[in-house]
Structure 1
Amino acid sequence: MIKRLRIERLAYGGAGIGRHEGKAIFVPCTAPGDLVDCRIVREKKRYAEGELVALLESGCGRRSPACPLFGRCGGCQWQHLDYGEQARWKEEIFRDTLVRQVNVPPDLVLPLAQAPEEWGYRSRVQFKCRQTEAGLVMGFYKSGSHFVIDVPHCPIAAPAVNGALRYFREWLAASPCPEKIPQVDVAVDDEERIRVVVHVLDGREGELAAYLRPLAETAGYALFLQSGRKDSLRAVTGAEDLYIHPETGGDLRLAYGPGGFAQVNLAQNRQLVAEVLAALGDAAPGRVLDLFCGMGNFSLPLARRAGEVVGVEDYAPSITKARANAADNGLTNAFFHARPAEGAAEFFSREKPFDLVLLDPPRTGAYAVTRELSQLRPPRILYVSCDPPTLARDLVPLLHGGYRLEWSRPFDLFPQTHHTESLTSLRLSA
């Protein structure tokens, strides 16, 4: 069933929205102002989902995508939009989410912090692999499927990551077991070190390690193999740590190991850290709790300004790194604990209350934690979020529990995609 639509706006998730006989139709790879023919692929009671068949007229913010695989590869949703248009819609969608779902006054949503570079920014990439009759395919899943699309070069990946992709595409194709390799993780740090984790199935680690070790050593790559969960990681060659510099012009140097987490956009991470520190104002907090702290990305910059920082993270290897990072940077007032975030605020508040709680949960959010905080009532909360809908959900118990939202700022850590990071400041009402 073909429908002709004028695209009116963009939705969270990246699709354009048009209307046919009053019913909203969501069409990926369209832009506001486009006149399109689309095919309905899924019909619901209140809306429908379509796929682009023909672009009849282009909206004013449309451009030609930089990647020839755009629209097939599931990694990017917005390469067809000028970067300024992407930024405008990210800010608008973020603001609309908080206004509609949590009744936040629109003027409390600050302008989007745009990325300094819209291309070549991704410092960590997971490449999916599949052995076919034509050879090894290495790239990303097709949108909405587990079909691997071959990607020779990714324009949003850092140049060093693309260089490693080129090498491993050749090496793995000629390896003893290309059919047993489902994924390759490539990461580059602020010091241009490269670490690669090759996932391998069915006990072929020894054979693959012997084959890849001299190749990785010649290229100067640190190499690890993983045969299951993260606890199966095995070092093959090279140093385990990569290093990020979380402060612009600063001397903090933080290590994270294979299986650990660092933001994919290192430049924007510095901007985000700077905003957290600026939010402190002139009054340095006495005691800070950092939930979902990882290897200390926020904890350790905060420790330079606070009396004491307590960091909590349930992935024990990241806590080991956080403790080492504190010691290596001469910070003796940061203390880290490997445990779930749920219940941590109540437990560690028994010794002494916190002046500030910062949380940076995964995309699923932290509703149980914000309910707990609404009962404990620390004076100040900073919430770092990578998902506007779960942020809005998690704000409800805080706003109903005596907190007022001071401001919220979206950050663009993921150009060419619909994803938005954010920082929200809440203060306990007098």
Structure 2
Amino acid sequence: MTEAVPRGSVLEVFRAFLRLGCTSFGGPVAHLGYFRAELVERRGWLDEAGYADIVALCQFLPGPASSQTAVTIGVVRAGLAGGLAAWLGFTLPSAVLMLAFAQGVSLAGEVAHAIWLHGLKLVAVAVVAQAVWNMGRTLCPDRLRVSMAVVAAVVVLMIPSAIGQVGAIVTGGVLGWQLLPGPVAPVQGHLAIGVPRGLAVAALAGFVVLLVGLPLLAGATGVHAVALFDRFYRAGALVFGGGHVVLPLLQQSVVPPGWISNDGFLAGYGAAQAMPGPLFSFAAYLGAAMRPSPAGIAGGLFCLVAIYLPSMLLLLGTLPFWDGLRRRAGVQAALRGVNATVVGLLLAALYTPVWTSAVAAPMDFGLTLLAFLALVFWQVPPWLVVVLGGLAAAALG
């Protein structure tokens, strides 16, 4: 059983997650392994059943699973202030690095034809292909779910907008609820975290109000900052299945309006693979690198808060009710459909914008295959593949 009473200090939580934020490479699945080794085995902050309970919740909700796991453990350890400290510690290193990279790109000026950028774009192809490969094997284990993923990809390619993406996710949930029944997955442990129900209801209400109200406010006022917050908030609210899924949502939000070029977008995405910590820190790069104000460091922090806010509101609002909700067969069936659809969204993103803007020659395809081989079969760390990809592109340039 997970204890509800805080048992540590906020500073202790911040230090532990700052260390994890500096050393956790490899994406959300790897992050969860680092968390377990550090917080369950080494520090003994919670037991195996409690940790599995928290991971199950954070994989159920949309948003960055590793960051949500960090926040939940922080709440268990040191209350709501501990949750904030965990998020700050885990996010700070990658956010600082991405802000610095955005400033470097800005100082370098036009990067569309830079050789190093081409290497990052090719690595991005391999990274997204790896995500499709791994997620497809896990989330689409039968013909029905494979078919749902492919149809979702076709729909998103035919309707390249937020409407197509949201429609595919909602349809996947409905189809999963109707077509993917199954035995209720066994539930480990009991999640008991001291978040008042009144605060949880307020957080859920805030999530819905912002999700519905921000587009209306942006349209009514025409203020760019409101439109920017709305785009990043909506992307953070619709991400199921890991940080890589945010790629198509953000690309459709910031590239077509001309806020950032597609080359600049993919440069940041490629660089994010070399960073420790959460992939959502990519939002800090985008906010800092985009042309309209707010931009620079203020813009990066603005977008970072916007993309994280919905998942944190959902997490806070779900904690008191999760223990009963997760035992419902209908909820689990709908989630199976959503997860299959998410694979389709990522498959569509693999084609455009990732593949179409990077692979233009046989040598490009060859380098992409080598990067994919290194990531999937040789399990080379992503940061090293990024470095090697940039060097290979420069050598062949």
TM-score (norm 1): 0.27
Q: Which has the higher helix share?
A: 2
Q: Which has the higher contact order (CA 8 A, sep 6+)?
A: 2
Q: Give the greater-gyration-radius structure (CA).
A: 1
The structure with the greater share of residues assigned to strand is 1
